[in-house]
């Protein structure tokens, strides 16, 4: 038996790796959202002084890992490994940030589930005795994502009411073997779930079944239920996807009361985003700016953070394919009992 | 101290995870190459019965993991985790293959170093007690890669003599906690190295310094030298990149005699590929069709397999950026002493 695997898909971290530092960098629109005061850095414009949005997104990721390191009084060379990914083709924000850091690097691609995938793999490296300090980053940017996955924002296409607004933001965390902070106890690695959705303007509906599948397996693997968590938060299902998840939960007799979604939390209703936020940055900045603080303060004791990813490709969509989705879950706890 | 980390960048796998099964699927041109007889499946055309090259590439990856499972008499559900990646935007071959397999999935992006990255992460999952059986796949396809990274092959652009030919092929392996086969003892995770190359038609020159950096660190971390290996093989430096690596080795007093490159081994000189092969599939198919057999037969006892990746992005190149490169190394040994 694999001693640190529980059930079908869940990893156990008995040595409880600790999130010791975290940082969030967002764009101006996110700064005006309900969590605006909590971000470490709010950019004054979406170009961050660069000539292109792609360079701006990379700069955000670099800022966020630099801030996370600085808060913990660490240098990049103190990290054993750096795990990162983003939504851009060839995960260029991650590659160029890793070039700057000059640390051993593993590139990940899990679309908007990438931050959770990074937390899972960081846990594995720490628990396995391969590292003492691991950095994890993810980012997204509204304008780079629209340009790559849908149509350039300059075209001014009307967005349907099912659309979500990709968060301009990047989050980074430092996870360590020892220290003070928030502990990581378990992770559930998701399977690809694809129920046939092919609408790039309605990714919440596509992802909700993947979130549900991972959640159900997580409960089965650990013999837990919704009452074992103070909060179960998905990454970026948005209003529509969150509603669908709630329906799926009710069908199985699971109370949806303690569920929320980072895509709903990141913007206020009057910001006119339609279905809320999305992107690698969405779950990352809500976790690092808000949820970790709530765990630290004791407001929450244990949360389940489910990163949701729509593995959308414009090319396979044009070739008639539907959108494969995935969700990875991590259990985060405040240290005190 | 992290007990399974040695030196700066090297992972130790004392429980010696075992590669118990492997398979390779290639296109017709690779089938006519010097290793033609050794591949498990040679496609009769580059479309593999599909309407598009992208679908053909995904089919190759699916075939290769199915074959690797079949040889070992396993079903997809027997895998604890599946790790895969490819060169296509959003790693669609990996996502769609994972959808077919229906196993817990972690998506990786390391360009042509992805197969080596997958071996490293599989080793970490097995050594850490998180899994008993892990599947790893990577793929590339000449026509999908040219279309995405350079110009569509239908245009018939003249290729410069520095260019390499992306291998149409996919490789998969099964790594297990117990069994018979080839053992994985160490892995060295690379850093991003970028010496300023910006020519998408000369990736071997861009990657050679990354291979050298990982090699040098590997030797330092383990206190080893070139004589500790029967073969040190890079993934896809090709003729030019391999020549540059040899120069770098000579400068440091390292004998290049036991060095070779999968990009050189995969095609014969009369196949007119210019600088040889490249792509995620290149190192994968040479490893699974040829090198593992040589380890099994006792021809080699210990090899160092260095996956090399040029993290090329057409978009960042157009925005004036150079090409960040990375190399991950794994030590493979035949079991018998």
* Domain termination residue (choose one: B120, B155, B176): B176
Residues A125, A134 contacting (CB under 8 angstroms): yes
Mean pLDDT value across chain A: 97
A315 interaction partners in chain B (CB closer than 8 Å): 54, 88-89, 92
Mean pLDDT of B235-239: 98
From B180's Cα to the closest Cα of chain A, the distance in A is 18
When pLDDT is cut at 50, 70 and 90, the band that residue A154 belongs to is: very high
Residues A114 and A213 in one domain: no
φ, ψ of residue A11 in degrees (nearest 5): -95, 140
Mean pLDDT of A180-197: 98
Residues A23 and A154 in one domain: yes
Residue A181 lies in a domain: no
Handedness of CA A248, A252, A253, A257 (dihedral sign): negative
When pLDDT is cut at 50, 70 and 90, the band that residue B39 belongs to is: very high
Cβ separation A4–B107 shorter than 8 A:
no
B59-115 pLDDT, tens digit each? 999 999 999 999 999 999 999 999 999 999 999 999 999 999 999 999 999 999 999
Question: How far is C-alpha A186 from the geometric centre of its chain's CA atoms?
Answer: 16
Domain containing residue B102: CATH number: 3.40.47.40
* Domain termination residue (choose one: B176, B211, B232): B176
pLDDT of residue B335: 81
Which H helix or E strand runs over A232?
strand A231-234
Q: How far apart are the first and last CA of chain A?
A: 30
d(CA B157, CA B161): 13
A114-123 pLDDT, tens digit each? 999 999 999 9
- Percent of chain A's residues with pLDDT above 70: 99
Interface check for A8 against chain B (CB to CB < 8 A): the answer is: yes
A280-333 pLDDT, tens digit each? 999 999 999 999 999 999 999 999 999 999 999 999 999 999 999 999 999 999
Interface check for A194 against chain B (CB to CB < 8 A): the answer is: yes
In angstroms, the Cα distances linking A77 to A69, A153, A248 are 10, 38, 46
Residues B162 and B189 in one domain: no
pLDDT of residue A1: 76
Q: What is the dihedral of CA A197, A203, A204, A205, to 10 degrees?
A: -10
Mean pLDDT value across chain B: 97
Strand partners, A277: A165
Contacts 24+ apart (CB under 8 A), A27-32: A27/A141, A27/A142, A27/A167, A27/A168, A27/A169, A29/A142, A29/A165, A29/A168, A29/A267, A29/A271, A30/A167, A30/A168, A30/A169, A30/A266, A30/A267, A30/A277, A30/A285, A32/A271
Provide the total of helices (H) and of strands (E) in chain A, helices listed first. Answer: 11, 15
Cβ separation A319–B54 shorter than 8 A:
yes
pLDDT of residue B19: 98
Among residues B15, B9, B16, B13, which one has the least CA distance to residue B219? Answer: B9
pLDDT of residue A236: 98
d(CA A12, CA B161): 51
* Domain termination residue (choose one: A122, A148, A176): A176
Q: Which residues of A78-108 are buried (b: 16+ CB within 10 A; e: fewer)?
A: ebbbbbbbbbbbbbbbbbbbbbbbebbbbbb
Residues A91 and A172 in one domain: yes
Burial of B74 (0-12, 13-18, 19+ CB in 10 A): middle
pTM: 0.98
B186-227 pLDDT, tens digit each? 999 999 999 999 999 999 999 999 999 999 999 999 999 999
B49-59 pLDDT, tens digit each? 999 999 999 99
Residues B169 and B209 in one domain: no
Residue B334 has pLDDT above 90, yes or no: yes
Cβ separation A103–B191 shorter than 8 A:
yes
Residue A215 lies in a domain: yes
Cβ separation A90–B54 shorter than 8 A:
no
Residue A182 lies in a domain: no
Residues B214 and B330 in one domain: yes
Interface check for B130 against chain A (CB to CB < 8 A): the answer is: yes
pLDDT of residue B336: 58
Residues A168 and A19 in one domain: yes
Residues A156 and A230 in one domain: no
Residues A67 and A34 in one domain: yes
Residue A146 lies in a domain: yes
Residue A335 has pLDDT above 90, yes or no: no
Structure tokens at A33: 């959202």
d(CA A285, CA A288): 5
Q: Is B31 helix (H, G, I), strand (E, B) or coil?
A: helix
Residue with tokens 């090198």: B291
d(CA B165, CA B276): 6
A241-273 pLDDT, tens digit each? 999 999 999 999 999 999 999 999 999 999 999
Cβ separation B130–A128 shorter than 8 A:
yes
From B55's Cα to the closest Cα of chain A, the distance in A is 8
Q: Which of A52, A98, A106 sits opposite B319 (nearest CB)?
A: A52
Q: Is A106 helix (H, G, I), strand (E, B) or coil?
A: strand
From B36's Cα to the closest Cα of chain A, the distance in A is 31
A121 interaction partners in chain B (CB closer than 8 Å): 106, 121
Residues B84 and B233 in one domain: no
Interface check for A84 against chain B (CB to CB < 8 A): the answer is: no
Residue with tokens 């300023």: B196
d(CA A161, CA B166): 42
Mean pLDDT of B292-319: 97
Number of A to B CB contacts under 8 A, please give it.
187
Q: Is B12 helix (H, G, I), strand (E, B) or coil?
A: strand
The number of domains in chain B is 2
B99 interaction partners in chain A (CB closer than 8 Å): 192, 194, 324
Interface check for B54 against chain A (CB to CB < 8 A): the answer is: yes
A4 interaction partners in chain B (CB closer than 8 Å): 128-130
Residues A124 and A235 in one domain: no
Interface check for B50 against chain A (CB to CB < 8 A): the answer is: no
Residues A138 and A215 in one domain: no
Residue A337 has pLDDT above 50, yes or no: no
Among residues A79, A27, A17, A98, which one has the least CA distance to residue A281? Answer: A27
Residue A9 has pLDDT above 50, yes or no: yes
Q: At what angle are helices B203-222 and B238-251 packed, to 10 degrees?
A: 40
d(CA A191, CA B100): 10
d(CA A275, CA B235): 45
Structure tokens at B62: 């699916």
Q: Which domain holds residue B239?
A: 183-334
């Amino acid at each position: 038996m694999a001693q640190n695997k529980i059930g079908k898909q869940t990893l156990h971290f008995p040595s409880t790796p600790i999130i010791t530092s975290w940082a969030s960098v967002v764009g101006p629109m996110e700064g005006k959202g309900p969590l605006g005061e909590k971000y470490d850095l709010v950019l004054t414009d979406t170009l961050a002084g660069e000539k292109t949005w792609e360079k701006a997104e990379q700069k955000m990721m670099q800022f966020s890992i630099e801030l996370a390191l600085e808060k913990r009084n660490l240098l990049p060379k103190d990290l054993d490994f750096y795990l990162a990914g983003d939504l851009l083709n060839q995960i260029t924000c991650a590659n160029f940030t890793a070039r700057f850091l000059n640390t051993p690097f593993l590139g990940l691609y899990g679309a908007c589930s990438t931050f959770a995938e990074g937390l899972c793999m960081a846990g594995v490296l720490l628990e396995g005795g391969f590292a003492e300090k691991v950095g994890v980053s993810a980012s997204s940017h509204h304008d780079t994502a629209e340009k790559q996955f849908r149509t350039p924002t300059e075209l001014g296409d009307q967005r349907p009411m099912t659309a979500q607004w990709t968060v301009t933001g990047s989050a980074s965390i430092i996870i360590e073997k020892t220290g003070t902070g928030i502990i990581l106890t378990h992770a559930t690695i998701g399977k690809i779930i694809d129920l046939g959705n092919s609408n790039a303007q309605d990714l919440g509906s596509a992802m909700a079944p993947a979130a549900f599948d991972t959640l159900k397996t997580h409960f089965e693997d650990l013999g837990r239920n919704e009452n074992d968590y103070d909060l179960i938060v998905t990454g970026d299902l948005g209003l529509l996807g969150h509603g669908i998840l709630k329906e799926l939960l009710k069908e199985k007799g699971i109370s949806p009361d303690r569920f929320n979604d980072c895509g709903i939390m990141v913007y206020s209703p009057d910001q006119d985003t339609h279905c809320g936020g999305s992107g690698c940055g969405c779950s990352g900045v809500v976790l690092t700016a808000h949820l970790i603080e709530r765990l630290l303060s004791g407001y929450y004791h244990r949360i389940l953070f489910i990163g949701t990813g729509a593995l959308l490709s414009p090319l396979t969509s044009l070739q008639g394919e539907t959108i494969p989705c995935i969700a990875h879950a991590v259990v985060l706890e405040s240290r005190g009992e």
